[in-house]
Structure 1
Amino acid sequence: MTLAKGRLSLVILFALALTSCQTEDKPPQPRFVSDARGESVGESSQKRDGQYFIEFRSRYALSYGHTYVIFGRLNKAGGMVNPEVAGLAPATNETAPYVLGHFVPVPAETGASDGDLEEAYRSASWRVLLTPSEYNETVAFIRKLKAKTKFWQASVYNCNAFVAEIARSMGYKAPSIWLRPQQFVTQLREMNT
C-alpha cells in the first residue's frame, strides 16, 4: 500500500511540474514602477538620488525562466547602484540536479545567477520604491529567508515561492507558484497595483 502511495505522490509531483511549463513566454513586458502602496509613480520620483527600491523580476532562460528580486538604491538618473540579488535556484550549473529537482528537493543557492542583471534577458519587472524604514524591514526579511532556505524543488518550493514569501512579507498578495516566471511577476504586479 505504501509503495502505491509513493508512486501516486511521484505522479502528482511530476504532473504539477509539467503543468507549470505548459505556456509560452511573451516578448519582454514593459517596466512598471510604483510606491509600496502599489500607486504608480512618475519619472521624477524614480530619479531621486539615493531612493531605495526592490524590483520583482523575471528573466528568460533555457528552461522556463527564473524569478528573483533586485534591491538597493538608485542614482539621480534612476539607475541601480550596487544592486543585490536574491532568488532561489539549484546550487549548480549542471542539468542533472535541476532535472532531479523536479521530483525531489535538491541543494539550493539564494543569490544571483547568470543573467539576472542582464537587461537582454529581462522578461517582466515591477519596481517598488521604498522609504528607508520599508527598505530596511524588507532587506532584513530577505537576509533571514536566504539564511534559512537550503533546498529547491520545482513543484513545491521554487523561485516563485521564494519571491512570493518576500512579497507577502511586504503585505502583498502573491499568485500561484506554478506559473511561468514572466506570468508570476506580471500577475504579482496586477494583484497589488
Structure 2
Amino acid sequence: MTLVNGRLLLVALLPLAAAACQTKDLPAQPNFVSFADGGTASQDKDERFFIEFRSRYALSYGHTYAVFGRLNQDGRMVDPQVAGLHPASNSAVPYVLGHFVPVPAETGWSDGDLEEQYRSASWRVMLTRDEYNKVVAYIRKLQAKSHVWQATVLNCNSFVADIARSMGYKTPAIQLRPQQFITKLREMNT
C-alpha cells in the first residue's frame, strides 16, 4: 500500500471513530433476561447456564463484553467468566493509537467488567447445558484468534457481535457506542 493510499484510508476511517464519540450514554438501562430456546431452557436450579451481553461506562465511550457461566439457586453468578476485546495495556497510549492502527489486544476481563456501578446495559440469555457448551467453545476459538484491537473495525462491539451471530442473533452496527450496541442487540432479537 502506498503512502497516499494509507493516508486516504486514515482519512476514511477517522470520521467513523469520531462519529462513535459524538453521542452520550443514557442512565443505566435495566437488566433483561431471555431464553435462547424461546423459554424452555432448563429450570433445574443446579443446571442454570447463561451468557450476558453487557456494556459498561468508562472514561471513554465505554466497553462491550460478555459474561458467562452458571447461576446458583439464588440466581447469582457462580465463577463468572468474561470475554471481551480490548487493548492489551492499562496505558492510554495503545488505546489512542488503536483509533488509527491495529494494536495488540487481550480477550478476557478488564477493570470494571464485573462491578455493578459501571454497568450501562445488559441482556442475559439463559441456556441449556448443550447451548452453553457450544457458545463457550465458540468464545474460546474466537479468543484464540483475536490478537489485535482497532477502534473502527476490530473493536469490543465486533467481538461481541461475533459471539451473538454464532448463536443465530442479528447484530447492530459495530460503530455504535457500547450501551447503544447492547440495547439495540437485545431489541433486534427479543
8 A Cα contact 1:47 1:78, kept in partner: no
RMSD over equivalenced CA pairs, Å = 1.8
Distance across 2 between alignment mates of 1:134 and 1:98: 34
Shift of 1:47: 8.4
8 A Cα contact 2:37 2:127, kept in partner: no
Q: Which amino acid aligns with 1:25?
A: D
8 A Cα contact 1:47 1:75, kept in partner: no
Partner of 1:29: 29
Distance across 1 between alignment mates of 2:47 and 2:114: 19
Partner of 1:143: 140
Distance across 1 between alignment mates of 2:143 and 2:118: 23
Q: Which amino acid aligns with 1:31?
A: N
Query: Deviations 1:11-59 (Å, cap 9, x if unpaired)?
Result: 1111111111111000000000000046699xxx878333000000000
Distance across 2 between alignment mates of 1:152 and 1:64: 15
Partner of 1:17: 17
* TM-score of the aligned structures, taking structure 1 as reference length: 0.94
Q: Which amino acid aligns with 1:136?
A: N
**Range moving further from structure 2, 46-55 or 108-117:** 46-55
Q: Which amino acid aligns with 2:20?
A: S
Unaligned runs of 5+ in 1: none
Aligned residues: 190
Partner of 1:180: 177
Distance across 2 between alignment mates of 1:160 and 1:151: 14
8 A Cα contact 2:47 2:129, kept in partner: no
**Percent sequence identity over matched residues?**
71
Asked if residue 73 in structure 1 is aligned to residue 74 in structure 2, the reply is no
Partner of 1:4: 4
* TM-score of the aligned structures, taking structure 2 as reference length: 0.95
